[in-house]
Structure 1
Amino acid sequence: MVATTAPDIVRTADGVPLKLKLQRVERSRRLKALGLVLPLLIFIVMSFVVPIGTMLKNAIDDPEDISKVLPATMQALQSWNGQDIPDESVFAAFVADIKQAQKDKTSALVGKRLNYEIPGIRSKVIAGARKIEKLEAGPYKDALIAMDAVWGQQETWATIKRASSPWTAFYLLAALDFERNADNAIQNVPPEQAIYRTIFVRTFWIAFQVTLATLLLGFPVAYLLATLPTRYSNLLMIFVLLPFWTSLLVRTTAWFVLLQDNGLINEVIQLLHLWDGPLRLIFSRFGTILAMTHIQLPFTLLPIYSVMKTISPSHVRAARSLGAGPFYAFWRVYFPQTIPGIAAGCLLTFILALGYYITPALVGGATDQMVSSMVALAINQENNWGKASALGAILLFATLILFTVYNRLVGVDKMKFG
């Protein structure tokens, strides 16, 4: 090997080795590129990554960790087998903790946390805390059970013991219509309380129907736009893009007016004597799907149109010249080339439809509300962020699972937006 001497090193005009100069230029170029990308990266992290991470954390976080309010009780419950009612030592520790909680004004936190799993117990805990504060001596077990039968139930103490950790699976289980029994085993909630599985199925079913409707309506329009002369297709494109020029709330309100019993649609039906009475269009599944389809139609149509514009008309002409009929040439030559656009448009519409809230709330009935309505209810009325986060986390994971299945069957790499 021949050693490179100093005179053999290639240098720039200012005497700096060329290799070092190139490294500095490359480093400077990378820093400039990072500077251009950094604002967008920060925006994505703050508006997307952080909220999703917070939601996932809240789904398993127990903000009402009552182990700090009932430290002696939690310590005494460690030796409890969970089979029978706890012994006198647990009740004595509970009384001592509640008396201290009354002084600290934190006893209501115990009732709030237990009320998540045992509806109606909050008022009993608050009323019981006032009575416990007046107890002078034991036996405390008999005294508490005499105050309220809830303290003689195994479920109450099992729930208190489960609430001793800062992390909990309660919200996720409740969002799937599961609960833990007194033996800490997972079981289905009573049928009259099981609502969330039905809501999840309804959400995905409505999203699928909307996606299918936008595909059936949007594909012919996209084909027409792609094959018409430019002066006509541009005019039609303006009508396609009109929904983007008005807000979602305005479009939904317009459908609310049109679908009423005395709205324009029913008035026309009555005028033409097509039906005996007004059709049930508002507060119905039909109205929900119709309004959502109108809003989502451009999201399905535009990716299909952009892919169709790239398909050369000579492909179909070549098939026709080889003896293929019009339908056969379209189905075997033209349609397969539009699948990437169909995949992109349908996936975009389906994911967006999963999160609809305003449209089902305004034009849908009680049986047409989606997961987003339950999230809003948990936040605005119940002030239960854990439940809301669990519903959002389950919807996110279900969407990711469907996306994975879609990727295996169709392939994300085949999607094109133009």
Structure 2
Amino acid sequence: MNTTLHPPASIDAGARPGSGSSGNRPAWRRARRKAAVQALLLALPLLVFLLATFVAPIASLLARSVQNPEVRDSMPQLTAALHAWDGNGVPGEAAFAALALGLKQAAETGDLGNVARRMNFYQPEFRSLLMKTARETRSQTPAAWKPALIDIDSRWGQNETWRLLKRAAASPTPDYLLNAVDAQVAPDGSVSPVPADSAVYRAAFLRTVQISATVTLLCLLLGYPVAYLLATLPPKQSNRLMLFVIVPFWTSLLVRTTAWYVLLQPSGVINAALMRFGIVHHPLPLIFNRTGVLIGMTHILLPYMILAIYSVMKGVSPVYVRAAQSLGAHPAVAFVRVYIPQTLPGVGAGFFLVFVLALGYYITPALLGGAGDEMISQLIAMQTNERLNWGLAGALSCYLVIFTAVFYFVFNRLVGIDRLRFG
């Protein structure tokens, strides 16, 4: 007697929308859409918060890399006259009159300082030229402004002065993006490198990559043995040692960096100990140079590498290594050929995480580094805080974002971040 039980057709059709009666499919789809809408509504506050506090400020800063509003908004008549000028020689009387009118209006509205600061990015003495001309023209009403302005300062009779004004009146502009890679637009319209004594940013980008890669390798060399120890110790001992890895996250980044500032200085603890034991006879230069930057950044980023590798090592069974040894493999060979390949996802995750974090580091290089160790983040901060050149800061940030994105896609292509396990 056949006693096999079969579920009712209605239950089976409800559990599997793709089979059975087609009348249940619309209801199942509506339920799925309703669940998706509810999930979106739950995540909506977080999405709005991220857009307002993260995406929007970054997008605004990156947009400044091509914006050029100072001359255009403060002197619209001059902008129109320069747009009609062909760029040869010096413009006509209309442009000179528009310049005089624009200087008077900008001085009255308080925008002259912004215009002067913008022009000073092109030529250091341009600010004094504009301020001097604005003072001289305040009480003048000549019949012709062209000879009057040239009489105030002969630079108004030079093509280069007006060419720079024409470039400053154009928006959007590629000037910031070119300056961020030590390039400029020549008088003939071609792109040329800046003088060697003014080239700063390409070397800073290269230095940033070098420091970040070195710190990542140091973290890997130091973090892999520690992660292996934590993964192979008994749970009770491993948890105790894990506290030493986690505790730095409870301490301020500035405090940890300042501690190294105290330890590494010539009269600090490290040099005092080395000299006391006779290892060295003079204090070692451990601070305000590349050594201090590498020590500080490695100490701060090392826990990220340890945790990324440990999360993978914890899931690696020791059975494979023991099996290889039972088949005659030397313990070192079994470790290299059997154990390490299984931990590569954690190595890749730690490498990517530490390298990307190191690219944008600011506090540690600023406190422990020297004059030749500025990373690109320090130059961005200098442009925003000291020189108020938000356009160049946006251009440098744009290149940093592009490089990080390129590194992500290349790394994902070679390793596959979607296959890495972060814990």
TM-score by structure 1 length?
A: 0.90
Alignment partner, residue 366 of structure 1: 371
Deviates more, 1:208-217 or 1:85-94: 85-94
Alignment partner, residue 39 of structure 1: 45
Alignment partner, residue 7 of structure 2: none
Alignment partner, residue 3 of structure 1: none
1:356-395 superposed matches below 5 A: 356-395=361-400
Residue-by-residue CA offset, 1:49-103 (whole Å, 9 max, x unaligned): 2222112212212231x13433333333334332323344432333343344445
> SS at the partner of 2:279?
coil
**Are the aligned partners of 2:311 and 2:422 in contact in 1 as well (CA < 8 Å)?**
yes
**Are the aligned partners of 1:108 and 1:125 in contact in 2 as well (CA < 8 Å)?**
no
Aligned counterpart in structure 1 of residue 318 of structure 2, from 304, 313, 318? 313
Aligned counterpart in structure 1 of residue 140 of structure 2, from 124, 135, 138? 135
Alignment partner, residue 72 of structure 2: 67
- For the pair 1:272 / 2:266, whether they are aligned, the reply is no
The 1:404–1:29 alpha-carbon spacing in structure 2 relative to 1, beyond 3 Å, is: closer
Aligned counterpart in structure 1 of residue 170 of structure 2, from 165, 172, 175? 165
The 1:20–1:308 alpha-carbon spacing in structure 2 relative to 1, beyond 3 Å, is: closer
Question: Offset at 1:304?
Answer: 0.6
Residue-by-residue CA offset, 1:269-292 (whole Å, 9 max, x unaligned): 110111111111121211111011
Residue-by-residue CA offset, 1:182-224 (whole Å, 9 max, x unaligned): 2332211111211111111111111111100000000011111
Letter in 2 for 1:187: S
- For the pair 1:220 / 2:225, whether they are aligned, the reply is yes
Alignment partner, residue 56 of structure 1: 62
Instruction: Give the distance between the partners of 2:172 and 2:87, measured in 1 at CA.
Output: 20
Letter in 1 for 2:287: I
Alignment partner, residue 17 of structure 2: none
Question: Offset at 1:315?
Answer: 1.0
Letter in 1 for 2:60: T
Letter in 1 for 2:59: G
Instruction: Give the distance between the partners of 2:259 and 2:109, measured in 1 at CA.
Output: 54
Deviates more, 1:141-150 or 1:156-165: 141-150
Residue-by-residue CA offset, 1:79-129 (whole Å, 9 max, x unaligned): 433232334443233334334444555444432221121112112101111
Question: Offset at 1:138?
Answer: 4.6
1:213-292 superposed matches below 5 A: 213-292=218-297
Aligned counterpart in structure 2 of residue 114 of structure 1, from 89, 113, 119? 119
The 1:19–1:86 alpha-carbon spacing in structure 2 relative to 1, beyond 3 Å, is: closer
**Are the aligned partners of 1:83 and 1:183 in contact in 2 as well (CA < 8 Å)?**
no
> SS at the partner of 2:192?
strand
> SS at the partner of 2:348?
helix
* Residue correspondences, number: 404
- For the pair 1:399 / 2:373, whether they are aligned, the reply is no
Alignment partner, residue 330 of structure 2: 325
> SS at the partner of 1:135?
coil
Aligned counterpart in structure 1 of residue 309 of structure 2, from 304, 329, 332? 304
Q: Structure 2: where are the runs of 5+ without partners?
A: 1-9, 15-22
Residue-by-residue CA offset, 1:219-248 (whole Å, 9 max, x unaligned): 011111111111221121111222112111
Question: Offset at 1:22?
Answer: 4.7
- For the pair 1:344 / 2:349, whether they are aligned, the reply is yes
The 1:259–1:76 alpha-carbon spacing in structure 2 relative to 1, beyond 3 Å, is: same
Letter in 2 for 1:62: N
Letter in 2 for 1:46: A
- For the pair 1:145 / 2:150, whether they are aligned, the reply is yes
> SS at the partner of 1:187?
strand
> SS at the partner of 1:277?
coil
Residue-by-residue CA offset, 1:289-315 (whole Å, 9 max, x unaligned): 101101100101111111011111111
Question: Offset at 1:166?
Answer: 3.4
Question: Offset at 1:375?
Answer: 1.6
Instruction: Give the distance between the partners of 2:53 and 2:102, measured in 1 at CA.
Output: 42
**Are the aligned partners of 1:303 and 1:342 in contact in 2 as well (CA < 8 Å)?**
yes
Aligned counterpart in structure 1 of residue 299 of structure 2, from 294, 300, 305? 294
- For the pair 1:97 / 2:102, whether they are aligned, the reply is yes
The 1:132–1:185 alpha-carbon spacing in structure 2 relative to 1, beyond 3 Å, is: farther
Instruction: Give the distance between the partners of 1:363 and 1:336, measured in 2 at CA.
Output: 36
Alignment partner, residue 4 of structure 1: none
Question: Offset at 1:340?
Answer: 0.7
Alignment partner, residue 20 of structure 2: none
Deviates more, 1:362-371 or 1:161-170: 161-170
TM-score by structure 2 length?
A: 0.89
Instruction: Give the distance between the partners of 2:266 and 2:415, measured in 1 at CA.
Output: 43
Letter in 2 for 1:60: V
Residue-by-residue CA offset, 1:144-163 (whole Å, 9 max, x unaligned): 22322321222221121122
% of aligned pairs identical? 48
